[in-house]
A and B are shown apart, each in its own frame.
Chain A
Amino acid sequence: MAGRGILRSMAATPAAHDPIEGPLLERARGGDREAFEQLVAIHLPRVWRVVWRIVRHHEDCEDVVQEVFLAAWQALPEYRGEARFSTWLHTIAVTRSLNYKDRAAEKVRRASSTLDPHADEGPEAAIAREAERAGARGPSPLQSLEAGELRRRLAQCLEKLPPAWRAVLALRDGEELSYEDISRLLGLALGTVRSRLARARLGLRGCIEGHAS
């Protein structure tokens, strides 16, 4: 996960700072902690949301969010404004969230094995199996679920989803970022974003329907 190359992708984007945020950013870059704390207040809700969608655990989420802002504060002198500050923060948020989940790899592995007994064979095979299953079944159970039940199962299945897949889902379906933005933010090729999203969705669908059956 360390080699995601996320920060690398930030250089090409021109910065366009908010008129309120811009001066704060300048002050914060100069070491003004109070200014940075104001930036924290501005961006906390969104960072919290992104981290939550990936981490999905309250205390872990708090830890990661704190990490994100501390890391941002530390790295701020090196932030040259090529990307929007919010994008830059998102990058750190996603990276830290994924690293956090990596550190809890055992948990993730356990969850993945619960999700899919064939976890070792990789997502491609899983997709193929999902496709086979789709071909063999009748009307979609997912769409027949009552909304509350669907949300409950979704929450369970999201926790079982590999964090990297969860991250793209969070950015696309949660934050409604474009594939290009996600690609830039995560340092991934556009095609990778697309395929990862498709896998994540198919995996979720299979998980939810697995619960349903």
Chain B
Amino acid sequence: MNDRQPHPHELISAMLDGETDARERAVVDAHLQECPECRDLAGDLTALGEVLADDPVPPVPAGLAERIGWSLRSQTASRRRPGGVRWSGPRTLAALGGVAAAGILAVLVVREGGAPFLDRSPLPPAANPAPAENKAAAERERDEAQEKLKSLGYAATGGAGRDSATRYNRGDGRADGAIVVPPRSPQAGGGGSRMGSVKGDILTYAPSPTGTASSGPLGGASTAQAAPAPPSPYLDTQEEAGRASAKTGTGTGVTAEAGTPAGAPAPRERAKKASDANALSAPADKSEMAKETVAEGFVVMEKEKDAGAGGTGPTAKDAPAADEEDAGKQAVAGASGPRSTGMQGVVAPPQAAPKPSPAPDSHAAREQAAPLLSQKPKVLDKDSLTRLAIPACRDAEGAKPVTRWAAASAPLLLRRALSDAEPDLAALAARLGGSICEERASGVPPLIILDAPAARWGELREALAVRIETPGSLTPPPAEGFNVVRVVLRPR
């Protein structure tokens, strides 16, 4: 090391970069001849520069450009409103995903807990436990369901003589933000119902109408009657219609759950479960067609009461023919209590002789089967977040099977009146080859449901981004499996 002059580190570094002038190079050269340490340094820096130049950079993550595009759109939308929130960044997306996942989990928990508004996969008959075991198992399930519901903040409410509506409310009775849509044409003795849930702004669940049953004047406390239903607006696919026809063709008037072979008796525990579920349920007031309930961000659309129900007795709706006796007992025993809603995907057997189903032909069979079919859960399959069972805006009669992806339930921007928004949205839907429909229910604001071909999701998303308050909530459909994408729009 040369003690008489400092080491020209900067100059050496710059010289290796070719960023020195002639005079500086001369200085460095002279120094390097005398200083072995600096020669080492020059060698090291050269090696370092080569390694740095080859320092591997991971490839741009797949989809990053798309996510940036999303962020840009969200930003554009939020810039148009004061206090808008920007949805960007993988962590934000992860957080949103977490919220959605938590929602799904909550639904699953309730579902697995035997909540009456969700179906369960039926066990094959061979796997059904013995009746005695059934009872114990059903009681265990009931207890578990109660615990789970309690843990979710629900309190069972209900009263004697209530009708078939089922409500789960928080203990404080709060109900906010949920949306309940009644059937378009409620009929006496038979009510389609639909329910769906909104978790945050994402529709996560959309089950189903109940089976038809009537009580009171028509059937008395222990009479359930299979009544014709309007053409099901809830059918998601023609295949389901076909299955429905097959099922109703059994003539039992009783519908097995989805997946249950036509005519096969549903497991006894299912009837019991329905009864148990009723113990947790809280029927709505009779005057209500539909109500909204909310629990911690997820909303359950519930059924309306039977329009023609005049009786106060409960009606068991969830018993296979083989379990008629049980079901009848339950119905009688529950004469002063709530009755099953059938939302469990179970249908009460008629205590009186059920009307034979018409031949499984076409429209009539489908009409009759519609409310039953829609009990099949459309959600929570592994590969898709959700499917909706609420009706198509445009009757898909004869059309190819429709599988819908629920993009979101989103509030319209700036509290825009629905009447103002509707023509605009109708034009948008028409442009995209879709359609809108309006849903009205007493006591809740009307909604606009916009269906569009899933293939035009990008255009739909972009167009909606400037019309709704939460464009970030629009969830793109998977690449395959859905041919219609649906957004439910609501005023604030």
Interface residues of A (CB under 8 A from B): 33, 36-37, 40-41, 44-45, 48-49, 52-53, 58-59, 62-63, 65-67, 69-70, 73-74, 127, 131, 134-135, 139-140, 142-143, 147, 150-151, 154-155, 158, 169, 172-174, 176, 178-179, 194-195, 197-198, 201-202, 204-205, 208
Contact = CB atoms under 8 A, between A and B. Distances in A.
Closest 4 A-B residue pairs measured CB to CB? A173-B52, A198-B13, A135-B1, A198-B10
B19 A201 contact: no
Contacts of A201: 13, 45, 48-49
Contact of B40 (A139, A179, A194): A139
Nearest to B2: A135
Given A142-B47, A143-B47, A195-B10, A70 B72 contact: yes
Given A40-B69, A73-B72, A62 B47 contact: no
A62 B90 contact: yes
A158 B55 contact: yes
Interface stretch (B56-64, B99-107, B210-218, B228-236): B56-64
B4 to A, nearest CB: 13
Contacts of A127: 9
B60 A70 contact: no
Contacts of B13: 194, 197-198, 201-202
A57 to B, nearest CB: 10
Contacts of B76: 33
A176 B12 CA distance: 17
B40 A151 contact: no
A59 B95 CA distance: 14
Interface in B33-67: 37, 40-41, 43-45, 47-49, 51-58, 60-61, 64-65, 67
A122 to B, nearest CB: 16
B31 to A, nearest CB: 13
A73 B75 contact: yes
B51 A151 contact: yes
Contact of A154 (B45, B51, B58, B68): B51
A178 B20 CA distance: 12
A172 B49 CA distance: 9
A197 B47 CA distance: 15
B64 A44 contact: yes
B53 A178 contact: no
Which one of A62, A139, A155 has the highest number of Cβ atoms from chain B below 10 Å of its Cβ?
Answer: A62
Judged by DSSP, the binding face of A is helix
Contacts, number: 135
B55 A155 contact: yes
B52 A143 contact: no
Contacts of A151: 51, 54-56
Contacts of B72: 33, 36-37, 40, 69-70, 73
B7 A131 contact: yes
B395 interface: no
Contacts of A139: 40
B65 to A, nearest CB: 5
Contacts of A45: 60
A70 B71 contact: yes
A199 B418 CA distance: 64
B73 A154 contact: no
Contact of B57 (A33, A41, A52, A67): A52
Contact of A70 (B54, B58, B75, B91): B75
A140 B40 contact: yes
Contact of A205 (B1, B45, B86, B90): B45
B65 A40 contact: yes
Contacts of B65: 37, 40-41, 44
